Amino acid sequence: MPGFELFGDLERKEVNDVLESGVLMRYGFDGMRNGHWKAKELESELQGTFKSNHVQLVSSGTAAVTVALASAGVGAGDEVIMPTFTFVASFEAIMMLSAIPVLVDIDDTLGLCPEAVEKAITPKTKAIMVVQMCGSMANMDALQTIANKHNLLLVEDACQAIGGTYKGKPLGSIGDLGCFSFDFVKTITCGEGGAVITNNKDYYLNADHYSDHGHDHVGNDRGAETHPFLGYNFRISELHAAVGLAQVKRLPEFIDIQKRNYTVLRDALSQIPEVTFRTVPEGGEESYAFLNFFLPNADIANKVAQNFKESGVDACWNYYTNNWHYLKKWDHLKDIKSLYPVSPEVRKGLEYLKTKTYEKSDHYISRNISCLIKLSWTESELKERASKMVKAIQDSL
């Protein structure tokens, strides 16, 4: 991760197909395409990759979450349970629909804590959104049981976890709907792009229409298509899809490299008794896009993060004070800083954030270091990195 590290002839070939046809839009202009339909081809490839009946490409991972929720009827005043550790896009996508993000604690998987989810359910709860952060997963069996018990949607934000599996199923394919991102720093990149996957035909058709201004995509004349309901523009372009089409064919190659590099680093850090690793639920296999580990306390984690920087170990973060990925620094959410008026219902629904504390999440995130696993490391670079990481940690203890 990320896939741009290994761009090559296959990506160039797919992009050139689009440039030669001159058609950059995924819909229409049939006669000019010379048979090239990159978005449709990528959706077909992803159906096999995700073992899912339906795939709808969209413009980003954020768009994927919004479209997924909208396609299942989530909207104004509905509550969506989500974790404190994620990316800001998670609550942005919920609030775009005038729904209310309900943040709850994580556990040692770095994913949603099932007990916290159960306690957060109210009559307004419509969905549980599990975020498969940093290439791994939450306790999916427990979360599925809770969703079934309360007749709630289970939505997987698997934007950071393509290639991971749980009991033989690709992450993203376990819930009612799955969401993926193919932005510039993902294992498979389109530059910008995303996907909604589902086995529910109604949700798929809703996503297909909603992401393109409500077009029903019936027939071969775009101008004659009807609009069964309101929609918006969350389309992916043919250029972005072309890059993704090349990249998805290389996913097994990328995952093999990530696993190799991850294993070298984890084996090295495993020799340090004070280092422990995130829990991967039984039956789960990470995508190996990140190596996440815990230190004994927050002070040591801070020292390790600083020592990494000073010793040239890049792409490693302590998310506790990160502006993008943890609740602690989301003042713009807690204070509802918006360019336009937020509905009274949503404003009231977010009042809990002014007083609620998340000690369990703090316990894990403050001690966690997350390291990106690059695809482009040479064997010598990998060994040197492992050595530097071990020394930096030992010097901090």
Whether 252-396 and 3-250 are alike in CATH topology: the answer is no
Hey, CA dihedral for 95, 96, 97, 98, is it positive or negative?
positive
Pairing label, strands 100-104, 79-83: parallel
Residue 190 scores a pLDDT above 90:
yes
Pairing label, strands 169-170, 165-166: antiparallel
Active site positions, annotated: 186
The CATH class given to the 252-396 domain equals alpha beta
101-149, pLDDT tens digit by residue? 999 999 999 999 999 999 999 999 999 999 999 999 999 999 999 999 9
Confidence of residue 1 (pLDDT cuts 50, 70, 90): confident
- Kindly report the CATH number that applies to the domain delimited by 3-250: 3.40.640.10
pLDDT attached to residue 133: 98
Average pLDDT over residues 236-246: 98
Q: N- to C-terminal Cα distance for the chain?
A: 29
Write out 274-297 in H/E/C secondary structure: CCEECCCCCCEECCCCEEEEECCC
Mean pLDDT of the chain: 97
| Cα–Cα distance measured from residue 235 to residue 238, given in angstroms and rounded to the nearest whole number | 10
Which residue(s) pair with 112 in the sheet? 106
Q: 267: helix, coil or strand? A: helix
| Cα–Cα distance measured from residue 25 to residue 44, given in angstroms and rounded to the nearest whole number | 18
pLDDT attached to residue 276: 98
| Cα–Cα distance measured from residue 210 to residue 221, given in angstroms and rounded to the nearest whole number | 18
- Separation in Å, CA 87 to CA 6, 255, 319, 374: 25, 23, 11, 20
| Cα–Cα distance measured from residue 91 to residue 103, given in angstroms and rounded to the nearest whole number | 9
pLDDT attached to residue 119: 98
- Separation in Å, CA 93 to CA 60, 167, 334: 11, 29, 16
Residue 39 · residue 208 · CB < 8 Å: no
Q: Which of 131, 82, 127 is nearest to 103 (CA)?
A: 82
Average pLDDT over residues 221-241: 97
Per-domain residue ranges of the chain: 3-250, 252-396
| Cα–Cα distance measured from residue 128 to residue 137, given in angstroms and rounded to the nearest whole number | 14
312-360, pLDDT tens digit by residue? 999 999 999 899 999 999 999 999 999 999 999 999 999 999 999 999 9
88-98, pLDDT tens digit by residue? 999 999 999 99
Residue 69 scores a pLDDT above 90:
yes
Average pLDDT over residues 280-285: 98
Q: How many percent of the chain have pLDDT more than 70?
A: 100
Q: Which of 67, 47, 164 is nearest to 111 (CA)?
A: 164
pLDDT attached to residue 271: 98
pLDDT attached to residue 14: 98
Q: Which of 103, 67, 121 is nearest to 353 (CA)?
A: 103
Confidence of residue 203 (pLDDT cuts 50, 70, 90): very high
